[in-house]
Amino acid sequence: MDETIYDSLTQLGGDNDSAKSPDEARIEKVANPKAGIDYLVRFTCPEFTSLCPITGQPDFAHLVIDYVPGEWLLESKSLKLFLNSFRNHGAFHEDCTTSIALRIVDEIKPKWLRIGGYWYPRGGIPIDVFYQTGKAPVDVWIPDQGVATYKGRG
């Protein structure tokens, strides 16, 4: 394998601090070695955190990101660091969820993407946020995201 295809990666294989904000975070990509076929890639982040923009209190979500790659794959460590950059970022659930999706779409231009943001309750109301770029490709198996709606403790 030609190692020069990975020369543009700056975060993989080294120590990295999380960016101070999502705008400062860098999303990296690698060439899709199977660009001629359609398949699904899933990333799950069950411990996503951000801050309420009004109170500054932490918000918690279980994120599920599904995408069908085109020419590029999303490099997983850069995704982790990007998601970590939200820890000190104040934004509503809807903004966080859709901003993550739009940033990934902008960076890697997948054939299709969907995100499920399953947010834990604040003020007694859980908010689930869903976004997708369009209709799912016909010949790709796209399983349910598998996250139950919030049922409380009983």
Can you give the CATH number for the domain in which 57 is found? 3.30.1130.10
Does the annotation mark 59 as catalytic?
yes
Assess if residue 47 is contained within a domain. Answer: yes
Catalytic residue among 2, 15, 38, 52: 52
Report the alpha-carbon distance of residue 109 to residue 132 in Å, rounded: 13
Assess if residue 141 is contained within a domain. Answer: no
Assess if residue 96 is contained within a domain. Answer: yes
Assess if residue 30 is contained within a domain. Answer: no
Q: What is the largest CA-CA distance in the chain?
A: 54
Average predicted confidence (pLDDT) for the chain = 90
Catalytic residue among 7, 15, 45, 59: 59
Assess if residue 89 is contained within a domain. Answer: yes
Write down the pLDDT at residue 1. Answer: 44
pTM: predicted TM-score of the whole model, two decimal places = 0.87
Average pLDDT estimate for 16-21: 80
Domain count, the chain: 1
Give tens-digit pLDDT for 105-152: 999 999 999 999 999 998 888 899 999 999 999 999 999 999 988 876
Assess if residue 16 is contained within a domain. Answer: no
- Asked if residue 74 has pLDDT above 60, the reply is yes
Read off the tokens for 134.
Answer: 């369009």
Assess if residue 2 is contained within a domain. Answer: no
* Tokens 């016909």 sit on residue: 138
Does the annotation mark 45 as catalytic?
no
Read off the tokens for 121.
Answer: 């309750």
Which three-class secondary structure state does DSSP give residue 49?
A: strand
The whole domain housing 55 covers 42-69+76-124
Read off the tokens for 109.
Answer: 């231009």
Assess if residue 151 is contained within a domain. Answer: no
